[in-house]
């Protein structure tokens, strides 16, 4: 390949589209804390199979199990509300995360009912958090298959304390 041709090809790649799996999501599950309260430290977040091994890429048509390790030195939280937000990447040639409208279906849910093993206790905790997305297949079936998604999982207590975790993952959607 001549240098001129190589430059042409790389310019084409820049203008034609976005990186298919940004931020290493082809092989890596990215996560970080996007909000919390004093006394809370999140140590690890990992999508897991029934045997505890890493479940990656994730499959949005199934219910996800996420193993979370954290330390809470503040107080016990018996009641928690859950808000989930989902983004996809690079729609319409814009190479950025864009929120997918879910019509409020994933907002203001009772986290204790189906997702978090309440109460949220104090001390070192290892829990498995559930993300029941299979019931939203009628939405997720329209998501691009084998593509990167960003998810936010936010728990809020009645006193205003909240925990927010954001993750980026490669996902199957049908």
Chain positions contacting ligand NAG, by CB under 6 A: 23, 30, 32, 59, 61-62, 172
Provide the sign of the torsion angle of the four alpha carbons 73, 36, 65, 22, taken in this order.
negative
Q: Which is nearer to ligand NAG, 32 or 142 (CB)?
A: 32
As measured in angstroms, the least distance from the Cβ of 151 to ligand NAG is 12
CA dihedral 106→111→114→119, nearest 10 degrees, is: 170
Q: Which is nearer to ligand NAG, 72 or 140 (CB)?
A: 140
Q: Which is nearer to ligand NAG, 55 or 161 (CB)?
A: 55
Spatial distance between the Cα atoms of 156 and 97, rounded to a whole number of angstroms: 24
As measured in angstroms, the least distance from the Cβ of 62 to ligand NAG is 5
The string of DSSP letters for 59-80 reads ETTS-EEEEEEEEE-S--B---
Q: Which is nearer to ligand NAG, 51 or 103 (CB)?
A: 51
Spatial distance between the Cα atoms of 106 and 133, rounded to a whole number of angstroms: 9
Asked whether 133 and 171 are in contact (CB, 8 A), the reply is no
Q: Which is nearer to ligand NAG, 19 or 83 (CB)?
A: 19
As measured in angstroms, the least distance from the Cβ of 160 to ligand NAG is 25
Give the CB-nearest residue to ligand NAG. 30
If you compute the radius of gyration of the chain from its CA atoms, what whole number of angstroms results?
18
As measured in angstroms, the least distance from the Cβ of 170 to ligand NAG is 11
User: What is the phi/psi pair of residue 15, to 5°?
Assistant: -90, -25
As measured in angstroms, the least distance from the Cβ of 52 to ligand NAG is 19
């Amino acid at each position: 390949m001549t240098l001129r041709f190589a430059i042409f090809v790389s310019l084409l790649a820049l203008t034609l589209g976005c990186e298919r799996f940004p931020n290493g999501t082809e092989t890596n599950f990215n996560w970080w804390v996007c909000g919390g309260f004093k006394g809370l430290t999140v140590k690890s977040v990992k999508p897991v199979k029934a045997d505890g091994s890493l479940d990656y890429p994730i499959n949005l048509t199934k219910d996800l199990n996420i193993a979370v390790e954290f330390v809470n030195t503040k107080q016990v939280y018996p009641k928690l509300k859950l808000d989930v937000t989902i983004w996809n990447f690079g729609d319409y040639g814009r190479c950025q995360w864009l929120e997918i409208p879910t019509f409020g279906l994933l907002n203001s849910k009772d986290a204790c009912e189906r997702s978090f093993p309440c109460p949220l206790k104090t001390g070192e905790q290892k829990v498995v958090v559930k993300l029941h997305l299979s019931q939203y297949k009628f939405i997720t079936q329209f998501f691009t298959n084998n593509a990167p998604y960003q998810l936010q999982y936010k728990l809020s207590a009645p006193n205003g304390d909240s925990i927010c975790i954001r993750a980026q993952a490669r996902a199957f959607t049908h």
